[in-house]
Copies of this chain bind each other. A is one copy, B any other.
Amino acid sequence: MLQIGLDAGGTSTRATVVTTDGECVGYARSSGGNPISSGKIGASSAILDAIESALTRANATLSDVSVIVAAMAGGSADDSRDWLIEPLADRDFTGTVAWESDLLATYFSGTFSSFGYAIVSGTGAAVIRVEDGQIARTSDGLGWLLGDAGSGFWIGHNVALAVMSDIDGRGPSTALTPRLLEALGISTEGARVQGRSPALPRLITALYDMRPVQLAQFAPLAFSEPEDAVSRGILESAGSLLAHSVEAVHTENGPLVIGGSVLAQTGRLAETFAARLAAQGIEPAIVRVADGAVGSAVLALREAGVDITASVFRRVTDSVARMR
């Protein structure tokens, strides 16, 4: 029989088909598969697309599949999962469908250790401690309004705040200001209004027209101006906040799996992150992963009763890499 791991994110979904030996025989990507960001219909359509394409590559059908594990963010046990279970049943799938955290899929993309840590900082940010292969503690992951400290949203929001303070005269001048105005196509021409740059009301309109979480798109501006004092301050603060989230769940030594675009960048943020952890005596073996594809397959194998040994884990990792 085959197992399918689904790594269903806000912008893309990965379906990974593995044999019980851990050999990846099918892999496909589709669009966003998280029902919170894509809606239930959009998410189920994306997930079914990915499953179908991956099974086609594997020369298999759903009747060959015993277990599907869907790894995704934000699902609580109370939410109905019929949006995915029903269309699978309509396709005569009679196996098991199980849900797992996307953070755990990230973790098992980097290690098969039953104890360790994972941190993901993309648009949002969260850290987990894994014990006995399960999430024992979570830190942050609370969303843009209440947390996600050091995330892409956090950095982009702080870029916007720094630019507003610069233009407003409450904060220091920063190279981020012309960068943000350029990114939004905002001109500084025109007369000052009540002592303020004419760019200010344009910037206010442009930024409030976005959904707040879209401010994450300005995070790259901070990374592109590492010599600017304001930008450097934002990057260092983000690195510190991410390290702090790790410290909050850290007990004993274990591998640290790192996912998401923010900590994938080298420079001040990553350096501050590592230095702050080291100052707390935390110097883990670090494994960087691109996504949760391998981990979702590992979770599907585990759900099917397969013992995840070093050789199984290695086979999944190597064969997924070949299929991408």
A contacts, CB < 8 Å to B: 76-77, 101, 128-129, 134-140, 142-143, 145-147, 149, 157, 160-161, 164-165, 168-170, 193-196, 201, 204, 207-208, 212, 244-245, 248-249
Interfacial chain B residues near A136, Cβ < 8 Å: 194-195
B168 touching A248 by the CB < 8 A rule? yes
Residues of chain B lying within 8 A (CB to CB) of residue A168: 138-140, 142, 147, 248
Contact B248 A129 (CB under 8 A): no
Q: Are A143 and B248 in contact (CB-based, < 8 A)?
A: no
Give the shortest distance, in Å, between A179 (CB) and chain B (any CB). Answer: 17
Chain B residues whose C-beta falls within 8 Å of the C-beta of A204 in the assembled complex: 142-143, 146
Instruction: Indicate which residue in B146, B161, B201 contacts A207 across the interface (CB closer than 8 Å).
Output: B146
Q: Compute how far the CA of A196 lies from the CA of B212 in the bound complex, rounded to whole angstroms.
A: 26
B160 and A146 contact, CB distance less than 8 A: yes
For A160, what are the chain B residues with a Cβ–Cβ distance below 8 Å?
Answer: 145-146
Beyond contacts A146-B164, A195-B249: 20 other A-B pairs, Cβ-Cβ < 8 A, are A76-B201, A77-B193, A128-B194, A134-B194, A135-B195, A138-B194, A138-B196, A139-B169, A140-B168, A142-B164, A142-B168, A143-B204, A145-B157, A145-B208, A145-B212, A146-B204, A146-B208, A147-B161, A147-B165, A170-B248
Complex formed: what's the CA distance from A244 to B130 in Å? 44
Quick one: closest B residue to A135, CB to CB?
Answer: B194
Q: How far is the CA of A103 from the CA of B147 in the complex (A)?
A: 33
